[in-house]
Structure 1
Amino acid sequence: MTMPRLRVARPSDDIAALLPFYRDGLGLEVIGQFAGHGDFSGVMLGRKDAPYHFEFTQAAGHAAGRAPTQDNLLIFYLPEPARWQAAVDRMEQAGFMPVPSFNPYWDKAGRTYEDPDGYRVVLQQGDWPG
Protein backbone atom coordinates (compact mmCIF):
# COMPACT_ATOMS: atom_id res chain seq x y z
CA MET A 1 0.00 0.00 0.00
CA THR A 2 1.31 3.44 -0.93
CA MET A 3 1.58 5.99 1.88
CA PRO A 4 -0.20 9.29 1.29
CA ARG A 5 2.12 12.24 0.84
CA LEU A 6 1.45 15.74 2.12
CA ARG A 7 2.50 19.02 0.54
CA VAL A 8 1.96 22.18 2.57
CA ALA A 9 1.99 25.15 0.20
CA ARG A 10 1.84 28.83 0.96
CA PRO A 11 2.85 32.10 -0.65
CA SER A 12 5.66 34.37 0.48
CA ASP A 13 6.92 37.80 -0.45
CA ASP A 14 10.55 36.72 -0.07
CA ILE A 15 11.45 33.07 -0.63
CA ALA A 16 15.16 33.81 -0.28
CA ALA A 17 14.55 35.03 3.28
CA LEU A 18 12.76 31.77 4.16
CA LEU A 19 15.54 29.45 2.97
CA PRO A 20 17.88 29.92 5.96
CA PHE A 21 15.01 29.17 8.37
CA TYR A 22 13.73 25.98 6.71
CA ARG A 23 16.98 24.72 5.19
CA ASP A 24 19.65 25.70 7.72
CA GLY A 25 17.51 25.93 10.86
CA LEU A 26 15.10 23.03 10.39
CA GLY A 27 17.57 21.01 8.34
CA LEU A 28 15.28 20.46 5.35
CA GLU A 29 16.67 19.94 1.87
CA VAL A 30 15.75 21.86 -1.26
CA ILE A 31 14.09 19.08 -3.25
CA GLY A 32 12.80 21.19 -6.13
CA GLN A 33 12.54 24.69 -7.54
CA PHE A 34 10.72 26.37 -10.35
CA ALA A 35 10.53 29.72 -12.09
CA GLY A 36 8.53 31.00 -14.99
CA HIS A 37 5.31 29.10 -14.26
CA GLY A 38 3.28 32.05 -15.41
CA ASP A 39 4.06 34.74 -12.85
CA PHE A 40 5.04 32.17 -10.19
CA SER A 41 8.33 30.93 -8.85
CA GLY A 42 8.85 28.60 -5.94
CA VAL A 43 10.88 26.16 -3.92
CA MET A 44 10.06 22.83 -2.26
CA LEU A 45 11.83 21.77 0.92
CA GLY A 46 11.67 18.46 2.73
CA ARG A 47 13.52 15.22 3.19
CA LYS A 48 13.65 12.55 0.52
CA ASP A 49 12.47 9.87 2.96
CA ALA A 50 9.69 11.95 4.55
CA PRO A 51 6.04 11.70 3.45
CA TYR A 52 5.72 15.51 3.46
CA HIS A 53 7.31 18.62 2.06
CA PHE A 54 6.75 22.34 2.02
CA GLU A 55 6.28 24.53 -1.03
CA PHE A 56 6.77 28.28 -0.92
CA THR A 57 5.62 30.31 -3.91
CA GLN A 58 6.02 33.90 -4.96
CA ALA A 59 3.80 35.59 -7.52
CA ALA A 60 5.11 38.62 -9.37
CA GLY A 61 3.15 41.74 -8.48
CA HIS A 62 1.18 40.04 -5.68
CA ALA A 63 1.77 40.74 -1.99
CA ALA A 64 1.34 37.64 0.16
CA GLY A 65 1.71 39.45 3.48
CA ARG A 66 2.50 38.02 6.90
CA ALA A 67 0.86 35.22 8.87
CA PRO A 68 -2.66 36.21 9.95
CA THR A 69 -2.08 35.16 13.59
CA GLN A 70 0.70 33.94 15.90
CA ASP A 71 -1.17 30.65 16.21
CA ASN A 72 -0.56 29.49 12.61
CA LEU A 73 1.69 26.55 13.45
CA LEU A 74 3.60 23.67 11.95
CA ILE A 75 4.44 21.21 14.72
CA PHE A 76 7.22 18.65 14.59
CA TYR A 77 6.96 15.97 17.29
CA LEU A 78 10.40 14.73 18.27
CA PRO A 79 10.01 11.97 20.89
CA GLU A 80 13.74 11.29 21.42
CA PRO A 81 15.23 13.96 23.75
CA ALA A 82 18.63 13.89 22.00
CA ARG A 83 17.05 14.44 18.55
CA TRP A 84 14.89 17.23 19.94
CA GLN A 85 17.90 18.95 21.51
CA ALA A 86 19.85 18.59 18.27
CA ALA A 87 16.97 20.25 16.36
CA VAL A 88 16.80 23.11 18.89
CA ASP A 89 20.59 23.55 18.73
CA ARG A 90 20.52 23.60 14.89
CA MET A 91 17.84 26.34 14.88
CA GLU A 92 19.78 28.47 17.32
CA GLN A 93 23.13 27.91 15.60
CA ALA A 94 21.43 29.10 12.40
CA GLY A 95 20.51 32.31 14.23
CA PHE A 96 16.86 31.64 15.11
CA MET A 97 15.86 32.14 18.74
CA PRO A 98 12.66 30.80 20.29
CA VAL A 99 9.67 33.08 20.77
CA PRO A 100 6.95 32.71 23.41
CA SER A 101 4.06 30.66 22.06
CA PHE A 102 0.67 32.30 21.68
CA ASN A 103 -0.74 29.16 23.32
CA PRO A 104 1.44 28.49 26.39
CA TYR A 105 0.82 24.74 26.01
CA TRP A 106 3.60 24.61 23.40
CA ASP A 107 6.14 26.16 25.79
CA LYS A 108 5.79 23.29 28.31
CA ALA A 109 7.70 20.72 26.26
CA GLY A 110 8.68 22.58 23.12
CA ARG A 111 10.24 25.58 21.49
CA THR A 112 8.49 27.87 19.02
CA TYR A 113 10.31 29.70 16.23
CA GLU A 114 8.95 32.34 13.87
CA ASP A 115 9.92 32.41 10.20
CA PRO A 116 10.50 35.68 8.30
CA ASP A 117 6.84 35.69 7.15
CA GLY A 118 5.53 35.43 10.72
CA TYR A 119 4.49 31.76 10.51
CA ARG A 120 5.56 29.63 13.43
CA VAL A 121 7.14 26.21 13.80
CA VAL A 122 7.05 24.26 17.07
CA LEU A 123 9.70 21.68 17.91
CA GLN A 124 7.81 19.58 20.45
CA GLN A 125 9.78 17.20 22.66
CA GLY A 126 7.29 14.36 22.82
CA ASP A 127 5.41 11.78 20.84
CA TRP A 128 2.41 12.36 18.62
CA PRO A 129 -0.53 12.22 21.05
CA GLY A 130 -2.92 10.40 18.69
Structure 2
Amino acid sequence: MVPKLRVARPTNNLAALLPFYRDGLGFEVLGSFEDHAGFDGLMLGHPQAPYHLEFTHERGHLAAAAPSAEHLLVFYLPDATAWQQATARMQSAGFVPVLAHNPYWDVRGLTFEDPDGYRVVLQHAVWEV
Protein backbone atom coordinates (compact mmCIF):
# COMPACT_ATOMS: atom_id res chain seq x y z
CA MET A 1 0.00 0.00 0.00
CA VAL A 2 1.46 3.34 -1.10
CA PRO A 3 1.01 6.18 1.42
CA LYS A 4 -0.96 9.19 0.21
CA LEU A 5 0.31 12.72 0.65
CA ARG A 6 -2.15 15.49 1.45
CA VAL A 7 -0.87 19.04 1.05
CA ALA A 8 -3.21 21.28 3.01
CA ARG A 9 -3.32 25.04 3.26
CA PRO A 10 -5.79 27.75 4.16
CA THR A 11 -7.44 30.19 1.80
CA ASN A 12 -9.89 33.05 2.02
CA ASN A 13 -11.72 32.08 -1.15
CA LEU A 14 -12.33 28.44 -2.07
CA ALA A 15 -14.42 29.44 -5.08
CA ALA A 16 -11.55 31.45 -6.58
CA LEU A 17 -9.12 28.52 -6.28
CA LEU A 18 -11.42 25.97 -7.88
CA PRO A 19 -10.97 27.10 -11.52
CA PHE A 20 -7.17 27.23 -11.17
CA TYR A 21 -6.78 23.68 -9.89
CA ARG A 22 -9.77 22.03 -11.59
CA ASP A 23 -9.98 23.78 -14.96
CA GLY A 24 -6.34 24.83 -15.29
CA LEU A 25 -4.44 21.91 -13.78
CA GLY A 26 -7.10 19.33 -14.59
CA PHE A 27 -7.57 18.11 -11.01
CA GLU A 28 -10.83 16.51 -9.98
CA VAL A 29 -12.85 17.44 -6.93
CA LEU A 30 -12.27 14.45 -4.64
CA GLY A 31 -14.31 15.77 -1.77
CA SER A 32 -15.60 18.83 0.00
CA PHE A 33 -17.20 19.84 3.27
CA GLU A 34 -19.04 22.81 4.75
CA ASP A 35 -19.05 24.09 8.32
CA HIS A 36 -17.13 21.17 9.80
CA ALA A 37 -16.33 22.72 13.20
CA GLY A 38 -16.26 26.14 11.51
CA PHE A 39 -14.22 25.05 8.48
CA ASP A 40 -15.16 24.68 4.83
CA GLY A 41 -12.91 22.62 2.60
CA LEU A 42 -12.17 21.28 -0.82
CA MET A 43 -9.94 18.34 -1.80
CA LEU A 44 -8.60 18.18 -5.36
CA GLY A 45 -6.38 15.72 -7.18
CA HIS A 46 -6.45 12.64 -9.35
CA PRO A 47 -8.23 9.59 -7.90
CA GLN A 48 -5.30 7.19 -8.41
CA ALA A 49 -2.47 9.63 -7.61
CA PRO A 50 -0.55 9.23 -4.35
CA TYR A 51 -1.23 12.88 -3.47
CA HIS A 52 -4.00 15.44 -3.32
CA LEU A 53 -4.45 19.03 -2.25
CA GLU A 54 -6.78 20.28 0.46
CA PHE A 55 -7.82 23.90 0.79
CA THR A 56 -9.65 25.05 3.88
CA HIS A 57 -11.38 28.23 4.95
CA GLU A 58 -11.99 28.91 8.61
CA ARG A 59 -15.15 30.96 8.91
CA GLY A 60 -14.54 34.36 10.47
CA HIS A 61 -10.75 34.22 10.05
CA LEU A 62 -8.42 35.63 7.40
CA ALA A 63 -5.66 33.43 6.01
CA ALA A 64 -2.39 35.11 5.08
CA ALA A 65 -1.35 35.22 1.42
CA ALA A 66 1.59 33.24 0.08
CA PRO A 67 4.71 34.03 2.13
CA SER A 68 6.99 34.30 -0.93
CA ALA A 69 7.33 33.57 -4.63
CA GLU A 70 9.44 30.54 -3.72
CA HIS A 71 6.56 28.58 -2.17
CA LEU A 72 6.06 26.18 -5.06
CA LEU A 73 4.32 23.01 -6.06
CA VAL A 74 6.33 21.48 -8.90
CA PHE A 75 4.89 18.88 -11.26
CA TYR A 76 7.42 17.10 -13.46
CA LEU A 77 5.99 16.25 -16.88
CA PRO A 78 8.73 14.55 -18.94
CA ASP A 79 6.48 13.72 -21.90
CA ALA A 80 6.52 16.66 -24.35
CA THR A 81 2.90 16.16 -25.43
CA ALA A 82 1.65 15.93 -21.83
CA TRP A 83 3.60 19.08 -20.88
CA GLN A 84 2.28 21.01 -23.88
CA GLN A 85 -1.27 19.91 -23.12
CA ALA A 86 -0.94 20.87 -19.45
CA THR A 87 0.43 24.33 -20.17
CA ALA A 88 -2.13 24.92 -22.93
CA ARG A 89 -4.95 23.88 -20.57
CA MET A 90 -3.76 26.41 -17.98
CA GLN A 91 -3.65 29.17 -20.56
CA SER A 92 -7.00 28.19 -22.08
CA ALA A 93 -8.49 28.45 -18.60
CA GLY A 94 -7.24 32.04 -18.46
CA PHE A 95 -4.06 31.62 -16.40
CA VAL A 96 -1.01 33.41 -17.75
CA PRO A 97 2.51 32.20 -16.94
CA VAL A 98 4.57 34.39 -14.60
CA LEU A 99 8.33 34.73 -14.39
CA ALA A 100 9.70 32.42 -11.75
CA HIS A 101 11.53 34.04 -8.85
CA ASN A 102 14.28 31.45 -9.36
CA PRO A 103 15.16 31.54 -13.10
CA TYR A 104 15.96 27.80 -13.00
CA TRP A 105 12.23 27.07 -13.37
CA ASP A 106 11.92 29.21 -16.52
CA VAL A 107 14.49 27.15 -18.46
CA ARG A 108 12.31 24.04 -18.90
CA GLY A 109 9.04 24.98 -17.30
CA LEU A 110 6.25 27.45 -16.89
CA THR A 111 5.13 28.92 -13.60
CA PHE A 112 1.54 29.91 -12.80
CA GLU A 113 0.25 31.79 -9.77
CA ASP A 114 -3.01 30.84 -8.08
CA PRO A 115 -5.45 33.46 -6.71
CA ASP A 116 -3.77 33.29 -3.27
CA GLY A 117 -0.31 34.00 -4.71
CA TYR A 118 1.04 30.45 -4.41
CA ARG A 119 2.87 29.21 -7.45
CA VAL A 120 2.73 25.98 -9.44
CA VAL A 121 5.51 25.00 -11.84
CA LEU A 122 4.83 22.68 -14.76
CA GLN A 123 8.34 21.42 -15.42
CA HIS A 124 9.16 19.69 -18.69
CA ALA A 125 11.75 17.34 -17.25
CA VAL A 126 12.28 14.00 -15.57
CA TRP A 127 12.56 14.26 -11.81
CA GLU A 128 15.93 12.90 -10.82
CA VAL A 129 17.10 12.50 -7.27
1:65 deviates by: 2.0
Identity of aligned residues (%): 59
Aligned length: 129
Counterpart position of 1:45: 44
Task: Note if 1:103 corresponds to 2:102.
Answer: yes
1:129 deviates by: 1.5
1:25 deviates by: 0.1
Counterpart position of 2:25: 26
Name the CA distance, whole Å, in 2 between partners of 1:105 and 1:129.
15
Counterpart position of 1:55: 54
Name the CA distance, whole Å, in 1 between partners of 2:48 and 2:104.
30
List runs of 5+ in structure 2 lacking aligned partners. none
TM-score normalised to structure 1 length: 0.98
Counterpart position of 1:75: 74
Name the CA distance, whole Å, in 1 between partners of 2:124 and 2:101.
18
Three-state SS of the structure 1 residue aligned to 2:87 is: helix
TM-score normalised to structure 2 length: 0.99
Name the CA distance, whole Å, in 1 between partners of 2:44 and 2:78.
22
List runs of 5+ in structure 1 lacking aligned partners. none
Stretches of 4+ aligned residues off by more than 6 angstroms = none
Could you list the per-position Cα deviations for residues 29-75 of structure 1 after superposition, in whole angstroms to 9, with x for gaps in the alignment? 00000012111000000001101000000001111021000110000
